[in-house]
């Protein structure tokens, strides 16, 4: 099933063309990787899917219905959860408060309506456990977790709140090898739960480990859109690095 479909989408900021003619499909239980160097338009693409920016041209379909997203809240309500690389969580808040931030369960009536803190703590622990994350203490500030762990909590949060589409912005960018592997494992776990995943990255190795479809961006335009059997890791890496650019660089750096 196609959850999100972008067709020929473009975005301009004043006189700057940030994105032009990008098409992309997100299917349930599949991982779509968006690859590109810095400035390729990856962030712009995310912001449109997450509801932070409206697209200027082309169409955005959510479950077949053409739409314009007005706010992150609306995107969330439509089942699109976005995990940003640097602003996924509030570091000084406990894990369980972060987990439910923006969707807090409450009990009681009228002025005595209050957070159901017991349920929140319990659910956080259980939801993390289901993703294979065993936290001893959900009361610790989330900032005390490692970068990879925080990504995983954010992913578990999206899965728990019934997101249909999970957008991940460079989840492995600042992480070491081991932590990257851990995050990719949870990305795969989210896919196995039936979510459609959009994985934004500039690392073709990470993308190829989990991806079903690869969309390549360069300077705001789409330069490739492949399924897994249409491209090998070497080709992907080559394309990613800019093909002929890389050859030129190799020539330039060659020692005489």
Partner 1 sequence: MTQTADERILRSSPLRRLLLSRPELGSVVGALAVFVFFGVAADGFLRASSLSTVLYASSTIGIMAVPVALLMIGGEFDLSAGVLVTSSALVSSMFSYQMTANTWVGAGVSLLVTLAIGAFNGFVLTRTRLPSFIVTLGTFLMLTGMNLGFTKLIDGTVSTKTIADMEGFPSAHAVFASTLTLGGVDFKVTILWWLGLVALASWILLRTRAGNWIFAVGGNQDAARAVGVPVARTKIGLYMGVAFGAWISGQHLLFSFDAVQSGEGVGNELIYIIAAVIGGCLITGGYGSAIGSAVGALLFGMTSKGIVFAEWNPDWFKFFLGAMLLLATLLNAWVKKRAEATK
Residues that bind partner 1 (CB under 8 A): 50, 52, 72-73, 76, 82, 84, 87-93, 97, 100-104, 106, 113-115, 117, 133-137, 139-141, 143-149, 152, 179, 182
Cβ atoms of 53 and 70 within 8 Å: the answer is no
* Shortest Å distance, C-beta 54 to partner 1: 16
* Chain centroid offset of residue 156 CA: 13
CB-count burial class (<10 Å; 0-12, 13-18, 19+) for 92: exposed
CB 246 within 8 Å of CB 234: no
Q: Nearest distance from residue 147's CB to partner 1, in Å?
A: 8
Q: What angle do CA 250, 255, 256 make, to 5 degrees?
A: 125
Q: Minimal distance in Å, beta carbon 19 to partner 1?
A: 20
Closer Cβ to partner 1, 140 or 232, answer by number: 140
Q: Are 48 and 55 in contact (CB under 8 A)?
A: yes
Burial class of residue 180 (count of CB atoms within 10 Å of its CB; 0-12, 13-18, 19+): buried
DSSP state of 18: E
Q: Considering the complex, state which of residue 72 and residue 224 has its C-beta at the smaller distance from partner 1.
A: 72
Beta carbon nearer to partner 1, 82 or 201: 82
DSSP structure class, residue 185: H
Q: From the CB of 115, what's the least distance to partner 1, in Å?
A: 6
Residue number, 46 or 222, with CB nearest to partner 1: 46
Q: Which is nearer to partner 1, 126 or 139 (CB)?
A: 139
Whichever of 141 and 224 has its CB closer to partner 1, that residue is: 141
Secondary-structure breakdown of the chain: helix, strand, coil percentages, each rounded to the nearest 5: 40, 30, 35
How does DSSP assign 153-175, residue by residue? HHHHHHHHTT-SEEEEESTTTT-
**Min. distance of Cβ 140 from partner 1 in angstroms?**
7
Q: Are 220 and 18 in contact (CB under 8 A)?
A: yes
**Shortest reach from residue 192's CB to partner 1, in Å:** 18
Q: How far is the CB of 23 from partner 1 (least distance, A)?
A: 25
Residue placing its CB nearer to partner 1 in the complex, 12 or 185: 185
């Amino acid at each position: 099933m196609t959850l999100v479909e972008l067709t020929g989408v473009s975005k301009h900021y004043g006189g700057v063309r940030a994105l032009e003619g990008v098409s992309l499909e997100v299917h349930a239980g599949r991982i779509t990787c968006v690859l590109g160097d810095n400035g390729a338009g990856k962030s712009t693409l995310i912001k449109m899917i997450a509801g932070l920016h409206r697209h200027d041209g082309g169409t955005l379909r959510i479950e077949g219905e053409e739409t314009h997203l007005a706010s992150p809240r609306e995107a969330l309500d439509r089942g699109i959860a976005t995990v940003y690389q640097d602003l996924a969580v509030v570091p000084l808040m406990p894990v369980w408060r972060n987990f439910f931030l923006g969707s807090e369960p409450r009990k009681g009536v009228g002025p005595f309506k209050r957070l159901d803190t017991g349920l929140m703590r319990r659910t956080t622990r259980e939801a993390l456990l289901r993703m294979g994350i065993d936290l001893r203490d959900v009361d610790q500030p989330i900032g005390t977790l490692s970068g990879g762990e925080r990504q995983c909590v954010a992913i578990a949060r999206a899965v728990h709140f019934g997101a249909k589409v999970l957008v991940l912005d460079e989840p492995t960018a600042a992480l070491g090898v081991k932590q990257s592997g851990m995050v990719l494992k949870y990305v795969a776990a989210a896919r196995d739960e039936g979510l459609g995943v959009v994985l934004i990255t500039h690392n073709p190795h990470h993308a190829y480990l989990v991806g079903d479809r690869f969309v390549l961006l360069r300077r705001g335009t789409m330069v490739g859109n492949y399924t897994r059997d249409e491209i090998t890791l070497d080709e992907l890496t080559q394309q990613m690095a800019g093909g002929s650019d890389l050859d030129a660089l190799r020539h330039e750096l060659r020692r005489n």
